[in-house]
Structure 1
Amino acid sequence: MTFPPEQAVHFGPYRIYPGQRLVMEAERPLRLGRRAMDILLILLEHAGNVVSKQHLMTEIWPNSVVEEINLRVHMAALRKALGDGQAGQRYIVTVAQRGYSFVAPYSLEHIELDRPSEPVESSSHNLPLRRTRMIGRQALVDSLMTHLPHQRFITLVGPGGIGKTTVALRVAEQLIGRYRDGIRLLDLAPIHDPSMITGHLATLLELSLHDAEPLNNLAMFLRERQMLLVIDNCEHLIDSVALLCESLLRGAPHLHILATSREYLRAEGEFVQRLESLDCPPPIAVLDRAQALNFSALQLFVERAMASHDSFELTDADLPRVIDICRRLDGIPLALELAAGQVASLGLEGLLRQLQGSFRQLTPHNQSALGRHQTLRATLDWSFDLLSVCEQTCLRRLGLFRGGFTLTSAAAVIVGEQVETREVFGSITQLVAKSLLNVDVGDEEVFYRLLDTTRSYALEKLEQAGELPATRERHAERCLALMHQAQNDWEHIPTGLWIERYARSLEDVRSALDWGLAVTGPHTLAIRLTATSTPLWQELSLLKEHGGYVRKALALLEAAPEPCPRLKMSLKLALGSACYHAQGGTAETIEAFVCARALARRCDDVAGQLRAVSGHLAVNLSCGNYQMALEQSQQFDRLGLNGDAVLDLSTHRLRVLALHFAGDQHRARMNAEEVLQRMAHSGHLNRFTHGFGVQYDQSVAALTILARILWIQGQPEQAWRTARQALDIALQINHGTSICYTLALSGCLIAHYNGDTRTARELLYLLQEQAQKHSVQLFYSWAQHYARVIHRADAPALPGPGAGLIKEIMVTLDSTLIDDDLLQRADTGAAGWCTAEILRARADALLAAGSPVNHDAAESVLIRALNVAQHQGALAWELRSATSLARLFQRQGRYRQAHELLAPIYQRFTEGYATPDLIAVRRLLGELQEHLPA
């Protein structure tokens, strides 16, 4: 049966809109993964009939060969999300050896075709898809939703396994769309160093912390934002989290915080909400089955038992046993899930007998927090003892994973002494069935993860077994293999897909590096991982943190008896790129690229030399060392490119940069246009060359410099169209450093030069935002200087001698910013592209002094500026210098000479008549014309 678009399917508490792929639960959307939705729709279309596993796999993965485990895991996730088994109701059953069948009664409802679809919300929050239906907490969720807007800061407190995270996520999920600036979940379980908290939060907020006061920086960022922050698993970092919450709430009046912890934070303004156990029937109650299932502890146990054991049904005869089990487990959700996972193998009678033996030493039904903690610990011990030796070993070793992991990753870490590859799959399947291992179902891959409580228990067992060092090494080796794979994929798959695939490895890479770079760690493995993981840190905008690891790795490598030159070269290149974006052309940045080139030459690595030279060239340009950069660009030809068309394009583009800033606009334009033509013909228009110097998208970088050249050559309208094209491409591919680059070097400047103040301000705001988000401190500081002119805002003092490019750019925006250092650069020819503007600024300063004796000196300087601009092919600068000189002539009554100087230059312009420079010239020519004889 195929459902027409005007029909909805209703079963249990759910209403399905097939045409919109939307599931509603009590008027709230239920967020299912894409594959889970596919499965549900296929089963509904064949409701009452068996759908074979092969048919489902063919329909869901039509172009892939997948293992049956994928289907089973997605099916289990769908059942848990729907609460299959709630109140004893079955939705989907497994038919042995055949497939699956949707068996629940359903009805069809007519709907209006214009019913709005659920909006895409992923950008407004980072909440995970719901893994299981929440039981027994809806009244608490409703209460929290009512109180949170007024209390602003609520901490959910309770022992491990009580369901704090489940409640917090459910509250947050129901508040999606209520906060203008979204919801962010910060999970502290993988973090053990208090100093890392602010960095993790900044990453979630897509913010880079540049100064020495990260809390103030975070509060400033959040000051005007209306946002909900969910901070999960705070118990091991209480003091630091309390300080964070207090600082943020003071500085951000529209921020709300919902935290979870095993004990309250003792923070200012904190409202504590304790979570109690799920409801169990009282000891003396005599209940029938329907009455008993009103108690949430029984609901949870029965639902999870039905999910793990297809043939399980609660009978009246079984009811006393189930009530006894729930009461012995103190109604603790995690303990109930662990027990329900054993029903298939032990049966209810055997399960109760086991619990009676294992829990005899505990005070019965102790409802204190300590008592519930003891109950959970005893449940974990009991569950662990019921595992086979192989399953115990697997669980112990999986405790090292901080994030989600695939079956392949699990096998790589588990397989060793006592466990063979063929045993891993069966053991993991059993751990999932027994609720000791959770499943995160992505659209393409299946990921497993341990709850924090279970992971801590597994690590404790791993250390007791003496397996920690060997397992850590296998874990680090797996991280290295993943990062090799990520490096190979970096240039071949879209950025979004790449991040989705590899970002979840970050916590494990951190863990492996923290261990491996420590005094007693396996240094060689960790050093290699530091170098190989560079793309991950760059794509996640964590350059500052990676720089710390790189410095540690380099120090260890230097101490090695025979350091590997290729490995050192890779680390130096990574350090150079990180330092350039984080701090600009410092001595550390330059040394990194110089050393990398020497090592590449020693290894006869041409690509490495090109990367090192290009990185150093970018540093020289930012520092204003244009002639040195031009000489470096000529080295590319001598290196040879071995027929690599992409690298050849990159070196050609860098030569354009050097020519432009050295002041040769004619050759720069010819080369720029040739580069773009070659890109278009070779299909590399949007090609991004990862690892080449300082990484920007090729076409964005080429168009950015062409836009600058066009403006200086007197084509302001064409220059703006080119700058806009560069920005559009950068935004389309969503590459942060490319966005910063084109805004800083062309977009903001050309908009301001052309008199489009509104656009200039909008682009400046975007530059500040993107530079913070992607840790590009170099361009963030440039943006602060631009704000001095564009926003008339306070800005830090311009850097001193050696700053180069940014000081020269600022003089073109405000000629009063002239200083002796710039004059010296102009006099020696070091200023290149900006020489004429510096000279004009000097002349304007002389004229502003008001002394007639300065007029001759100013005239001489302006004539020199005119000659330089003409020689460089810089019509825009020629016009500005001629305008200043014409005004001097006007002041001296030399009207004809002023007109004859200025009019021919103005006539060479074919566009841009509405820009400030040309408007001013037209007005001045009119004034001069009035003094000329008719």
Structure 2
Amino acid sequence: MTLSLEQAVHFGPYRIYPEQRLVMEADQPLRLGRRAMDILLILLKHAGNVVSKQQLMAEVWPNSVVEEINLRVHMAALRKALGDGQAGQRYIVTVAQRGYSFVAPYSLEHVEQHPANPAKASHGHNLPLRRTRLIGRQALVDSLVMHLPRQRFITLVGPGGIGKTTVALRVAEQLIGRYRDGIRLLDLAPVNDPRLITGHLATLLDLSLHDGEPMSSLASFLRERQMLLVIDNCEHLIDAVALLSENLLRGAPQVHILATSRESLRAEGEFVQRLESLDCPPPIAVLDRAQALSFSALQLFVERAMASHDSFELSDAELPLVIDICRRLDGIPLALELAAAQVASLGLEGLFTQLQDSFRLLTHSSQATLARHQTLHATLDWSFALLNTCEQTCLRRLGVFRGGFTLSSAAAVIVGEHIEPCEVFGSITQLVAKSLLSVDVGDEEVFYRLLDTTRSYALEKLEQAHELPGTRERHAERCLALMQQAQTDWELIPTTLWIERYARGLEDIRAALDWGLNARGPEALAIRLTAASTPLWQELSLLKEHGGYVRKALALLDAAAEPCLPLKMALKLALGSACYHAQGGSAETVGAFVTARSLARQCNDVVGELRAVSGHLAVNLSCGNYQMAWVQSQQFDRLGLDGDPVLSLSTHRLRVLALHFVGDQQQARVNAEDVIQRMAQSGHLNRFTHGFGVQYDQSVAALTILARILWLQGHPEQAWRTARQALDIALQINHGTSICYTLALSGCLIAHYNGNTRTARDLLHLLLEQAQKHSVLLFYSWAQHYAQIIDSAEATPSPRAAVGLIKEIMVTLDTARVDDDLLQRADSGAAGWSTAEILRARAEALLAADCPAKNSTAETVLIKAINVAKSQGALAWELRSATSLARLWQRQGRYRQAHTLLAPIYQCFTEGHATPDLKAVRRLLDELQSHVPV
């Protein structure tokens, strides 16, 4: 078949638009993974012919060497998503020893107008790709889609395996694009502690909660949002989910909730929708094949049987057996899938006999829900009994995984007593074939997952076999191995790829740390995992949460007879970084870095010492201890790091920071431009500052400080372009603390200095949002102070008292913020970069008193400010102080003197003449000129 761009391929209920890579099922898009779509288009192109496995792998993975299992898994996912086998219809068949063939009847249709691609136009969501075709639930889905907008809060209730999650996901999928602020799926299956629910939801919403009132913070964040929340697997956390739902519904009138649970939440405003079993034929009915296949239970069973056994065909003679099997399994979808998966090995008659024997003693309760639960558990028992010993061991040991896992991770956790590595692959394949293990097919890698019901069953079996502690230990060891590899890869691969590869393991790391750090597991292993996972917490900007684990790990390490010094140093560095962003220059922050340096010296670890010194330097800068930071920056030379170009470059960048804040703008500029040039030449532009105590992206940090230097030197337009470049990089890599850093130190300030009021407000809102989201409370506090000047609507009545650097920044925004402490710092030289502005603020306060006796003092102070600014190379501060002095002289009638002072400084500016400072000077010069004789 030649696939024309102007044609669509029609088969079964589907239309394929090759140009758009779009599959429509009726009027709904079928969301397939990229590889599955590639396979479908290749098979359609060769419809009716066999495409070899080698050809498919070569075309689908042209630049990679992949195992045949990848193709088989992607093919199985494609078949399930299409519902291959529905109503007995075959789309794709396996040709033994040869490959695959698309065999369904099809037609080509001319396309007058291509449909809009909802996948490209939709608003944000985190819904998974569809794994299976929906059977027997479409009327319910349509009803829920219609009623949810009006009822706002619906809970799908039913026993395990009945299909609640499938229905909820299909409803949400059909609502993609209907909610302005998107759809978020919160799966509570991995969550055991009700106190963690708000935190998990906040993570999904890109929000970080303050400790005080998390419910209130969530409701406040969602107040103006139009959003659908799908809360899955609520049954073990009913009271907490009910409370959360009630609070959100009251506080956020445009938020809708679709929940799933084995029982109702009993919450205010909840509408309960019970899911019944799939339809089975009535016991006394005598049906032909077509009539029987109109019942959804039989449809599901036959479709899944065809998927597991290529040659399966339901004959009229076998029809009564299938009807009896579906009735015996109570029409429960998961039970039907488990049974259908055995058709290939047992045949229908063997399957029927097995079920008869296994279910003979099952007593059905008068309560339908309990009866179905018994049926499902009995089906799982029956499926488990059919596994060989190795497969049983594999299944129960896989129960420790919270999320998706790779084949290699599965092997690492399974291998142990009675299991050899070579046996794992075949067992995993069989568990997938028997529907006991689900497959999440990503574009590049295959991940396996246990359904919540199956995982609970597996853990139950694991405990009964007395294997839980050993398996948990191997699970924690695997997490540690992955994080150690992540540390190595951190230096070698792009950030986005690194996060994609390792962030999906966060739930398992949490589980391993919760187990190991709470006296339930091997403490030494958990402590090592806490340290090794530091890069992941930092890349995801989850410093506050990691800080909690670090404190527990340090407490356990301190209690050890002989604590490991390198491990303690690594944890102290992690604690310093977490505390810095949460608390600023607190005693705990400083203590962490000081202790880390002492430990590094004891271990003769030069790089560790560099990290500790750099972290302490950052703290000193934020606290306003510029001279101390300058002295620390000079210590880098004594560490002998010139042989490492990356570390040498990074220490050079930190020296730029110290030069800038200590007040030497000329040298800071020379060094800053040299750093950026060396970054570009060495290929380290846009790379993370991995080796330092406080983590920011290398290029973001360098450009941020260069922007500040440029503005002070009288280049406001260049400064803004540089600040914008820094922000663009931070947003591109989506690193929260780097975004906060550049907004707080340059973006918001330079926009405001330059008179870009609207931009300054927008950036302030972004800073507040990002700082709250990532718990960067240091910069959140700064943003609250900025709001009092930049956007009073965002101002809080009493932000935390300004100290250190932020206190001096605020004087540059509002001279009324000057106080005796700042004046003392300016007089002593401790104020560094801000000295001239503090002096100008003091003079403005004297002039505001409107007392002629104080004018002389003000004049003296302003002259000093001008001289300080000139000596520092801070033309912007020189202009401001000269403007204040010129206005004083103007009031005194000293027009020529004022003009002579101000005009040469103004002429030094080659850009930025539309900024507030320069516009004000231009007006003042014109006024002065009118009084100066020609």
Normalised TM-score (structure 2): 0.98
Q: Which amino acid aligns with 1:360?
A: R
**Cα displacement string for residues 772-796 of structure 1 (whole angstroms, at most 9, x for unaligned residues):** 3333222222112111111124335
SS at 1:5 equivalent:
coil
CA distance in 1, matches of 2:492, 2:661: 33
CA positional deviation for 1:798:
5.8
Partner of 1:715: 715
Contact (CA 8 Å) 2:647, 2:691: kept in 1 or not? Answer: no
Residue equivalent to 1:560: 560
1:419 shift after superposition: 1.1
User: What amino acid is the match of 2:15?
Assistant: R
Q: Does 1:858 align with 2:858?
A: yes
Q: Deviations over 1:183-204 (max 9, x none)?
A: 0000000000111111111111
Alignment correspondent of 2:327:
327
In the superposition, relative to structure 1, how do residues 367 and 92 fare at CA in structure 2: closer, same or farther (>3 Å)? farther
522-531 vs 116-125, greater mean Cα deviation: 116-125
Query: Could you say which residue in structure 2 is the equivalent of 1:815?
Result: 815
Q: Equivalents in 1 of 2:123, 2:782: separation in Å?
A: 29
Classify the secondary structure of the residue corresponding to 2:217: helix
Amino acid at match of 1:626: Y
| 1:456 paired residue number | 456
Residue in structure 2 matched with residue 755 of structure 1 by the alignment: 755
- Over residues 351-409 of structure 1, what are the superposed CA-to-partner deviations in whole Å (9 max), with x where a residue is unaligned? 11222222122345967111111111111111111111111111110110110011111
Q: Is the 2:301–2:336 contact (alpha carbons within 8 Å) kept by the matching residues of 1?
A: yes
Amino acid at match of 2:17: Y
User: CA–CA distance in 2 between the matches of 1:474 and 1:521?
Assistant: 11
After superposition, the Cα gap between the structure-2 partners of 1:488 and 1:112, relative to the gap in structure 1 and judged at 3 Å, is: farther
C-alpha distance in 1 between matches for 2:798 and 2:809 = 14
Q: Compute the displacement of 1:724 (Å).
A: 2.0
**Partner Cα separation in structure 1 for residue 557 and residue 260 of structure 2:** 42
1:720-799 equivalent positions in 2, closer than 5 A: 720-793=720-793, 794-795=795-796, 797=798, 799=800
Residue deviations 1:460-509 (CA, integer Å, cap 9, x gap) = 11001111111111111111111112222223222222222212211111
Q: Deviations over 1:897-925 (max 9, x none)?
A: 32332223223222222111111122222
- CA drift at 1:731: 2.7
Residue equivalent to 1:231: 231
Deviation larger for 72-81 or 909-918 = 909-918
Match of 1:46 in 2: 46
**Equivalent residues of 1:799, 1:807 under 8 A apart:** no
- Comparing 924-933 with 869-878, greater Cα deviation is found at 924-933
Cα deviation, residue 681, structure 1? 2.5
- Give, in angstroms, the shift of residue 289 of structure 1: 0.6
* Matching residue of 1:570: 570
The aligned residue for residue 120 of structure 1 is 120
Which residue in the other structure is 2:102 paired with?
Answer: 102
Q: Deviations over 1:596-638 (max 9, x none)?
A: 1111122221211111111111111111110000000000001
Corresponding residue SS for 2:447: strand
Moved more, 813-822 or 135-144: 813-822
The answer as to whether partners of 1:624 and 1:805 remain within 8 angstroms in 2 is: yes
Higher alpha-carbon deviation: 449-458 or 640-649:
640-649
* Structure 2 counterparts to residues 326-405 of structure 1, below 5 A: 326-363=326-363, 368-405=368-405
Mapped to 1, the partners of 2:885 and 2:790 lie a distance apart of 26
Shift in Å at residue 7 of structure 1? 1.4
In structure 2, distance between residues paired with 1:183 and 1:2: 38
- Equivalent position SS for 1:257: strand
Decide which moves more: 329-338 or 41-50.
Answer: 41-50
- What amino acid does structure 2 have at the position aligned with 1:311? S
Q: What is the SS of the residue equivalent to 1:124?
A: coil
CA RMSD of aligned residues (A): 1.6
Q: Aligned with 2:62: secondary structure?
A: coil
Alignment of 1:181-200 (within 5 A): 181-200=181-200
Matches within 5 A, 1:849-928: 849-928=849-928
Distance in 1, Cα, partners of 2:86 & 2:139:
18
Consecutive unaligned residues in structure 1, runs of 5 or more: none
Summarize the Cα distance change of 1:8–1:366 in structure 2 as closer, same or farther, 3 Å threshold.
farther
- SS of structure 1 residue aligned to 2:9: strand
Contact kept? 2:122, 2:177, Cα under 8 Å: no
The equivalent residue for 2:257 is 257
Within 1, Cα distance between the matches of 2:618 and 2:433? Answer: 56
User: AA paired with 1:700?
Assistant: V
Unaligned runs of 5+ in 2: none
Q: Which moved more, 1:534-543 or 1:766-775?
A: 766-775
Name 1:649's counterpart in structure 2.
Answer: 649
CA distance in 2, matches of 1:121, 1:369: 41
Q: How far off is 1:282 after superposition?
A: 0.6
Q: 1 CA distance for matches of 2:321 and 2:249? A: 49
Aligned mates of 1:121, 1:56 — CA distance in 2: 30
Aligned residue runs from structure 1 range 430-449, under 5 A: 430-449=430-449
Cα displacement (A) at 1:575: 1.1
Q: CA deviation at 1:122?
A: 7.9
Q: Matches of 2:697 and 2:113 in 1, distance apart?
A: 43
Separation in 2, partners of 1:851, 1:874: 30
Paired AA for residue 636 in structure 2: F
- Inter-partner Cα distance in structure 2 for 1:364 and 1:579: 58
- How many angstroms apart in 2 are the aligned matches of 1:751 and 1:47? 60
Name the structure 1 match of 2:528.
528
What SS is found at the alignment partner of 1:285? coil
Report the Cα distance in structure 1 between the residues aligned to 2:505 and 2:42, rounded to whole angstroms.
33
Query: Which residue number in structure 1 is paired with residue 150 of structure 2?
Result: 150
Amino acid at match of 1:579: C
1:41 positional shift = 1.2
Q: Secondary structure at the match of 1:461?
A: helix
Deviation readout 1:226-279 (Å, 9 max, x if unpaired): 110000000101111111111111111111100000111111111111111110
Q: Which amino acid aligns with 2:405?
A: F
Q: Residue by residue, what CA displacement relative to the aligned partner does 1:626-665 show, whole Å, maximum 9, x if unpaired?
A: 0000000000001011511111111111111101100111
Name the counterpart of 2:931: 931
Q: Distance in 2 between matches of 1:840 and 1:399?
A: 67
Secondary structure in 2 aligned to 1:492?
A: coil
Deviations 1:517-563 (A, max 9, x none): 11242011111111111122122232111111111111111111111
Structure 1 letter corresponding to 2:787:
A
Amino acid at match of 2:796: A
Q: 2 CA distance for matches of 1:856 and 1:440? A: 77
Q: 1:364 to 1:671 in 2, by over 3 A?
A: closer
- Structure 1 residue 437: deviation in Å? 0.8
Structural mapping, 1:595-674, within 5 Å: 595-674=595-674
Q: Say if 2:222 is the partner of 1:243.
A: no
Aligned with 1:200: secondary structure? helix
Residue 211 of structure 1: how far off its partner (Å): 4.3
Q: Distance in 2 between matches of 1:122 and 1:52?
A: 36
Amino acid aligned to 1:678: R
Match of 2:74 in 1: 74
Question: Separation in 1 of the partners of 2:140 and 2:331?
Answer: 16
State the Cα deviation string for residues 826-879 of structure 1 (Å, max 9, x = none): 122111100111111111112212233322322222222122112212111111
Percent identity of the aligned residues?
A: 83
- One-letter identity of the residue aligned with 2:900: E
Question: How far does residue 692 in structure 1 lie from its aligned partner after superposition?
Answer: 1.9
Q: How far is the alpha carbon of 1:686 from its aligned partner?
A: 2.3
**Higher mean displacement: 517-526 or 159-168:** 517-526
CA contact (8 A) 1:23 1:29 kept: yes
User: What is the distance in 2 between the residues matched to 1:121 and 1:691?
Assistant: 40
- Please give the alpha-carbon distance, in whole angstroms, between the structure 2 residues aligned to 1:605 and 1:260: 53
Report if aligned partners of 1:584, 1:619 keep a CA contact under 8 Å in 2: yes
Which deviates more, 5-14 or 791-800?
A: 791-800
Deviations 1:664-687 (A, max 9, x none): 111111111221222233232223
What is the deviation of 1:90? 0.9
More displaced stretch, 745-754 vs 785-794: 785-794
- The alignment partner of 2:228 has SS state of strand
Note the 1:80-99 alignment, pairs <5 A: 80-99=80-99
SS in structure 2 at match of 1:100 = strand
> 3-state DSSP class of the match of 1:769?
helix
Contact 1:330/1:366 (CA < 8 Å) preserved in 2? no
Separation (CA, whole Å) in 2 of partners of 1:463 and 1:116: 51
